[in-house]
Amino acid sequence: MNVRLKSRFTHILLTSILIVSFTGLQAQMRDRILVSFENQRRAASLSTVQQESVLYASLEEFSQLLNIKHFYNPQNKKLVMTVGSRSIKVTALNPFIIVDNMAYQLALPTLIVDGHMYAPLALFLQSMGGFFPAEFHLNLNTEELNIRRFRINITGVEVEQKRNGSLIRIFTTKEFQETEVATSVNRDWLNVSLYGGVLDSVQIASSQRMGIVKQIAPFQFEKSAQVSFQLDGSVADRSVYIQPGEVVVSIRSPGSVGPLSNTNSNANRERWLINKIIIDPGHGGKDPGAVGPTGLMEKTVNLDIAKRLKDLIEKRFDIEVLLTREDDRHLRLKERTQFANTHDGKLFISIHANSNPSRRIRGVSTYVLGIEKSEQALSVAEKENSVIELEESVEVYREYQDAAHILNAIAQSSYLKESQDLAGMVNECIRKKTNLPRFGNGIYHGRFYVLVGAAMPRILVEVGFISNKHEERLLKTRAFRQKVAEAIFESIQNFKSKYEAGIG
């Protein structure tokens, strides 16, 4: 017998032994644990078995307790649970669980007991619990499972076809604020994100499609909900209106004319006018930012450029311009975007100067919120985020260090395309105005905490490398800082002209 055949024979033999030993032993130790539902008198039980002190539970009964659609194929020993648009696939005697196209590994494999699928309950809830519309509390000492269903506040979706577009009604039991609702378009998908939303995923996924809506996909995140609509065609315009008991999204296809029914075009125009700009001079106070070879502090450069930019905008436009700080004071990162949202800003521009251990590196770059695709972007993001260590409490940023939180923030952003456009304009204008080279690709995505939560187009500008001797000398001069301010001003002017031309 060759080595490959011998190895395969051994694998089959061991698998057969495991199947026989697991099914035989577990069947002798079957039991049930108590299941209670928080704030409800309802009580139930769940079939379990124990294998070497590990508690396994029936996944079919688990699905039934949560009213989750599921299908079990005893021939190939696979179980599929459907939660909204999400598919959770479990295979017997396999520690890997496939959620959509992502694989998650349990520390122990699942079992087959009397022909039914069982999973190590504590490990399953730890890894998979977040995919279900409930919270689970398992007490292994008393062998009790408490289930707290999330209080659903997004109950359904209705699509209404109009002569010149479609109306999407998202029915809610919570009165959402405008700052809690965001929309974005990614190719042929329209995404509507609601901060604090809890979905009735099954109801929404089964909603009727109509007009240009081909598919509806609900996604539940830890702190927000997203309903995505696949569209049959492009979108020329979209608007969001908050009404009692519903969030209404109007979408208009190219070539259509006139406002959709039940919309207010004047209010919509006012909402999208760029009439208030928030400028954020990075760092400040006890946080000097980067320091140049001769001692020039980044916080000083940032504030001076911000003030010059403010003067240019106010002289040319009838626009209110606010600085997150107007003197040498320290601000927490969260305070900066909270300031922008509180004052209903329409653009958020955070001004910084870059630094690098290699003093030969130079150039201008701009950043938008996203996941880094390069080492340069990652190092810049880490540098700018390190300011949280100077704050009194860093606990509020723990969730920011989770990539899932950043991805959720990106999903909620209805301004990613606008932010990318503005970043490109700023990057090119500064490069031309100052003759600075472009740092790398010039435009990057990064997990910048200061950009998380700003409900408007927002960018972070690195106006040069203060760590580079030549660029530090430039950043010391009033003339160069004025050129940078003028370049950003021209970018804002171009951006304003382009985007206000499309709102009538």
Asked whether residue 62 is domain-assigned, the answer is: yes
CATH number at residue 35: 3.30.457.10
The pLDDT, as a whole number, for residue 187 is 72
How far is Cα 376 from Cα 414, in angstroms, rounded to an integer? 26
Residues 6+ apart with CB under 8 A from 43: 34, 35, 36, 37
Exposure string over 404-430, b if 16+ CB within 10 A, otherwise e: ebbebbbbbbbbbebbbbbbbbbbbbb
Tell which of 84, 119, 149 closes a domain: 149
Whether 223 and 369 map to the same domain: the answer is no
How would you write 325-373 as a 3-class SS string? Answer: CCCCCCCCHHHHHHHHHHCCCCEEEEEEEECCCCCCCCCEEEEEECCCC
Asked whether residue 246 is domain-assigned, the answer is: yes
CATH number at residue 402: 3.40.630.40
Q: Regarding predicted confidence, which is higher, 240 or 364?
A: 364
Asked whether residue 418 is domain-assigned, the answer is: yes
Whether 318 and 465 map to the same domain: the answer is yes
Q: What confidence tens digit (pLDDT) does each residue in 298-355 have?
A: 999 999 999 999 999 999 888 999 999 999 998 887 778 778 877 888 899 999 999 8
Which range of 76-85, 161-170, 410-419, 441-450 scores highest in mean pLDDT? It is 76-85
Q: What are phi and psi of 474, to 5 degrees?
A: -65, -45
CATH number at residue 215: 2.60.40.3470
Asked whether residue 370 is domain-assigned, the answer is: yes
**pLDDT band at 373; cut points 50, 70, 90:** very low
45 DSSP β-pair partners: 34
Q: Give the domain extent around 171.
A: 154-266
Whether 68 and 166 map to the same domain: the answer is no
Indicate the average pLDDT of the chain. 78
Whether 494 and 367 map to the same domain: the answer is yes
How far is Cα 365 from Cα 379, in angstroms, rounded to an integer? 13
The pLDDT, as a whole number, for residue 313 is 95
How far is Cα 169 from Cα 123, in angstroms, rounded to an integer? 39
The pLDDT, as a whole number, for residue 7 is 47
Whether 35 and 111 map to the same domain: the answer is yes
Asked whether residue 7 is domain-assigned, the answer is: yes
**pLDDT band at 108; cut points 50, 70, 90:** very high
Whether 295 and 236 map to the same domain: the answer is no
Q: What confidence tens digit (pLDDT) does each residue in 138-162 have?
A: 998 888 999 887 678 887 888 887 7
Whether 244 and 377 map to the same domain: the answer is no
The pLDDT, as a whole number, for residue 202 is 67
Helix H or strand E segment including 496: helix 478-500
Whether 178 and 143 map to the same domain: the answer is no
Q: Regarding predicted confidence, which is higher, 244 or 121?
A: 121
Domain count, the chain: 3
Whether 296 and 341 map to the same domain: the answer is yes
Query: Strand 347-354 relative to strand 458-465: parallel, antiparallel, unpaired?
Result: parallel
Of the chain, the end-to-end C-alpha distance in Å amounts to 79
How far is Cα 379 from Cα 398, in angstroms, rounded to an integer? 19
Which range of 76-90, 246-260, 471-485 scores highest in mean pLDDT? It is 471-485
The pLDDT, as a whole number, for residue 201 is 73
| CB contact at 8 A, 473 and 300 | no
Asked whether residue 72 is domain-assigned, the answer is: yes
Amino acid identity, position 496: K
The pLDDT, as a whole number, for residue 6 is 44
Per DSSP, the chain holds a count of helices (H) and strands (E) of 12, 26
| CB contact at 8 A, 189 and 235 | no
Asked whether residue 314 is domain-assigned, the answer is: yes
For the cut 60, the answer to whether the pLDDT of residue 264 exceeds it is: no
347 DSSP β-pair partners: 277
Whether 371 and 439 map to the same domain: the answer is yes
Tell which of 266, 284, 314 closes a domain: 266
Long-range contacts of 377-380 (CB under 8 A, 24+ apart): 377/444, 377/445, 377/446, 378/446, 380/354, 380/444, 380/446, 380/462
What number is the average pLDDT over the span 66-86? 84
Paired tokens of 356: 């690098």
The pLDDT, as a whole number, for residue 456 is 79
The pLDDT, as a whole number, for residue 10 is 45
Model pTM? 0.47
Whether 206 and 286 map to the same domain: the answer is no
The lowest-confidence range among 199-213, 245-259, 280-294, 462-476 is 245-259
Q: What are phi and psi of 364, to 5 degrees?
A: -105, 150
Q: What confidence tens digit (pLDDT) does each residue in 222-254 have?
A: 778 889 888 887 766 778 888 777 898 888 765
Q: What confidence tens digit (pLDDT) does each residue in 405-439 have?
A: 444 444 444 567 788 889 999 999 999 999 998 87
The lowest-confidence range among 64-73, 91-100, 400-409 is 400-409
Asked whether residue 271 is domain-assigned, the answer is: no
Whether 333 and 245 map to the same domain: the answer is no
Paired tokens of 493: 């002017």
For the cut 80, the answer to whether the pLDDT of residue 358 exceeds it is: yes
How would you write 374-397 as a 3-class SS string? Answer: CHHHHHHHHHHHHHHHHCCCCHHH
Tell which of 233, 266, 299 closes a domain: 266
**pLDDT band at 443; cut points 50, 70, 90:** confident
Q: What percent of the chain has pLDDT over 90?
A: 31
